Amino acid sequence: MDLAPMDNMEKTNGLLKVPEESFVRNKMRTAAVAMVEKYQLLPPAKIGKLEQLALKLVRDLELSEHYIPFAMVLLGNESWRKTIKATPTNRRLLLLPQCLNNKEKCQGMFDELGLNCAGCKACPIDDVLVEAEAMGYANLVAEGTTVAVGLVEEGSIDAVIGVSCMPVLQRSFDPVSNAAVPVIGIPLLYDGCENTRADIKWILDELRSFETNEQHQPISVSLLKNRIQEFFTEEHLRKFIPGRDQTEQVALEYMLIDGQRIRPLLTALSFVAYTGIEKATHLLPLTIIIECFHKASLIHDDIEDNAQHRYNAKTAHAKYGIAQAINVGDYLIGKGYEILSDLSVPDETLKRSLRFIARSHIKLTRGQGNDILFNSGQLNLRTPEMIEVFKNKTGEAIKVALLLGAIVGNAPEQDQQTLEKFADFMGIAYQIRDDLNEYEEKHKEEKTGDYPFLLALLNEHLAKQNQETPIHLTEQVVAFRKMIEEHKLKVKAEKMLQDFVGNCYAELDKLNNAKLRLSLYGVMGKIFKSETSNE
């Protein structure tokens, strides 16, 4: 489809209309189904793509362009259709607006969450809620989608059927899309803050729609994350690290220290997405393996960076000395390989896993080596070289986490290649974001080496001007900050961050596994919340 960039949304601004006639609404819904199928629109759909298709839809049906926003809602709904349909009703939320109640006759009470329906039958809310509750839905009568997104993120629900006015649906697009919340939006028939009206038959049809489909049933990322947290208890970890001597005791101590556990989560997501939860017996050892490698790299990184604290606790070398910390890190690397070698998987799968992790380990150490030289002032890196360092450090760590689950889960080769590219981009974006966050926060003991990407940008900028980076700049943070602001390099870094985040999403859109694609969309939305855009 070749449509010129449209400015029709400006024409409809403030005119977020829903067709009054049910036959027009149904005709548009039917057209949306066909269009999503024809153009293979995948969720969460980009707003620009929705605008293009909505324009085509209303023109094909010879309808007013005032209905473009309504058409966008319908197209978004249909992009999520298979996911919503496959989500069990007891994992769904029905979100109704308070304004559906009859203000003069309503006997319900309002609290901080919304309306507690009294069942007075003065409006259709009670009839809809009764049917929804019978099917196991979680119900909420409230305005907006903030609570709904929160419930998805905490693992209480996996999908939302939301009824609201067009302006609220439009405002909800970004937060819902960025969090990759599977949602069906049903617009009220007209806007207003009280005594509004909805297409009850449409609502009930959506409530009743269910079809078992393992391929499209979403993974509850938050529930899986909670399960992983349960793995990292002393009871589970002692099965792998008994604590027979000081080395094992210190290793156990640092394995128990909570971080975000993002890498074990990525491993679990890719494994479950390709195998199904019924084969989850491998989840425990797989997540322990990845955490062993991760904690080993942190212990060694802290020594190399002379860091004294991590996770609000003393680093291993600060607490036990450098020699013991190096030894514990080495122990955890060996333990990770040992647990991996004991997995009950085909020999070829084990061979591929070991080879992949070993090669990634080598790349990571090379990236770390260049990072050490750079931070000590012995290596003058520019932007492309620093991006390569990020790719070899954080990118490889993410890659190992994702690919271990995918390899053991027997993912198709094409998906494995896509996940590798995604991991590269995510690692680069993660490091740039950390650089910018550190730069914004400022702290008493800051040094120029805390901002490697900004320093690399400065090196490159000065080189283009045939200038050399001042020799002692690494010790002169005030001068460094002044140069960063003068040359607008922070703005450039922010733009590059958005570009790499966009590259992440572009790779995810190539994944054939819908469950993993949507799960990783959700992970990205949380990590890069301020950089995520659905344009």
Following DSSP, what letter does each residue of 271-301 receive, concatenated? HHHHH-GGGGGGHHHHHHHHHHHHHHHHHHH
Q: How far apart are CA 36 and CA 180, in angstroms?
A: 18
pLDDT of res. 102: 62
Give the residues across from 309 on adjacent strands: 314
Domain ends where: 208, 237, 253?
Answer: 208
Judgement on whether residues 369 and 506 belong to the same structural domain of the protein? yes
Task: Report helix, strand or coil for 93.
Answer: strand
Across the strands, what pairs with 117? none
Tell me: pLDDT of 110 over 80.
no
Same domain, 201 and 280: no
Distance CA 91, CA 104 (A): 34
Residue 213 lies in a domain: no
Beta bridge partners of 94: 139, 161
- How many CB atoms within 10 Å of residue 203? 21
Say which DSSP state 395 is in.
Answer: I
Could you tell me if 337 and 375 lie in one domain? no
Q: Are residues 287 and 167 in the same domain?
A: no
Helices 514-527 & 68-86 angle (0-180, nearest 10) = 120
* 489 within domain boundaries: yes
**190 near 211, Cβ under 8 Å?**
no
Chosen domain end from 344, 359, 387: 344
pLDDT at 10 over 50: no
What is the residue range of 339's domain? 219-268+276-344
Do 304 and 368 meet the contact criterion of CB atoms below 8 Å apart?
A: yes
Cβ-contact 101, 116 below 8 angstroms: no
Domain co-membership, 340 together with 353: no
Count other Cβ atoms within 10 Å, centred on residue 220: 19
Label each residue of 336-394 as H, E or C: HHHHHHCCCCCHHHHHHHHHHHHHHHHHHHHHHHHHHHHHCCCCCCCHHHHHHHHHHHH
Residue 493 predicted with pLDDT over 50: yes
| 3-state secondary structure (DSSP) of residue 183 | strand
Query: Which stretch of DSSP H or E encloses residue 95?
Result: strand 92-96
**Same domain, yes or no: 289 and 396:** no
Q: Is the peptide bond before 88 cis (omega within 30 degrees of 0)?
A: no
Q: pLDDT at residue 6 above 60?
A: no
Give the count of domains, the chain: 3
Q: Are residues 225 and 120 in the same domain?
A: no
164 pairs with which residues across the strands? 187
Displacement of CA 224 from its chain's centroid (Å): 14
Evaluate whether residue 97 is within a structural domain: yes
Length of the chain: 535
pLDDT number for residue 111: 62
Tokens matching residue 69? 């926003």
Report if residue 1 sits inside a domain. no
Question: What's the mean per-residue pLDDT of the chain?
Answer: 88
> What predicted TM-score, i.e. pTM, was given to this entire model?
0.88
- Residue ending a domain, choose from 319, 344, 369: 344
Please check whether residues 181 and 114 belong to one and the same domain: yes
Helix (H) or strand (E) holding 523: helix 514-527
The four Cα atoms 249, 250, 255, 259 give a dihedral, to 10 degrees, of 140
The answer to whether 70 and 187 are in contact (CB under 8 A) is: yes
Query: For residues 505 and 48, what is the distance between their CA atoms, to the nearest angstrom?
Result: 15
One domain for residues 242 and 180 = no
3-state helix, strand, coil in the chain (%, to 5): 65, 5, 30
User: Would you state the pLDDT for residue 2?
Assistant: 42
Please confirm whether the linkage preceding 44 is cis (ω < 30° from 0).
yes
What six digits make up the tokens of 58?
Answer: 């209303």
Q: Verify that 237 and 308 share a domain, yes or no.
A: yes
User: Is the domain of 99 the same as that of 76?
Assistant: yes
The C-alpha atoms of residue 316 and residue 307 are separated, in whole angstroms, by: 10
Helix locations, 61-145, DSSP H: 68-86, 125-134
The reported pLDDT for the residue numbered 371 is 87
Contacts with 273 (C-beta within 8 Å, 6 or more apart), sequence order: 219, 405, 409, 513, 515, 516, 519
Nearest-angstrom CA–CA distance, 467 and 450: 23
Q: Are 404 and 349 in contact (CB under 8 A)?
A: no
CATH classification of the domain holding 337 = 1.10.600.10
The pLDDT of residue 109: 65
pLDDT (average), residues 22-31: 95
DSSP one-letter code for 232 = S
C-alpha–C-alpha distance, residues 423 and 361, integer Å: 15
Whether residue 214 is contained in a domain is answered as no
Residues 517 and 375 in one domain: yes
Number of Cβ within a 10 Å radius of residue 221: 23
450-481 pLDDT, tens digit each: 899 999 999 999 999 998 888 777 778 888 99
- The sign of the CA dihedral 9, 12, 18, 23 is negative
pLDDT value of residue 141: 83
Lowest mean pLDDT among 95-99, 194-198, 449-453: 194-198
Q: List the one residue out of 182, 184, 181 whose CA is nearest residue 207.
A: 184
**pLDDT at residue 118, rounded to an integer:** 54
Using a pLDDT cut of 90, give the percent of the chain over it.
63
Q: At what angle do helices 396-408 and 347-375 cross, to 10 degrees?
A: 170
Distance CA 111, CA 101 (A): 15
* Res 14: pLDDT: 43
Cα–Cα distance for residue pair 150/113, rounded to 1 Å: 12
| In a domain? residue 3 | no
Cβ neighbours of 91 (radius 10 Å)? 19
pLDDT for residue 148: 73
Phi, psi of 116 (to 5 degrees): -95, 105
What average pLDDT does the segment 329-352 reach? 96
Alpha helices for 409-488 (secondary structure H): 413-441, 452-464, 477-486
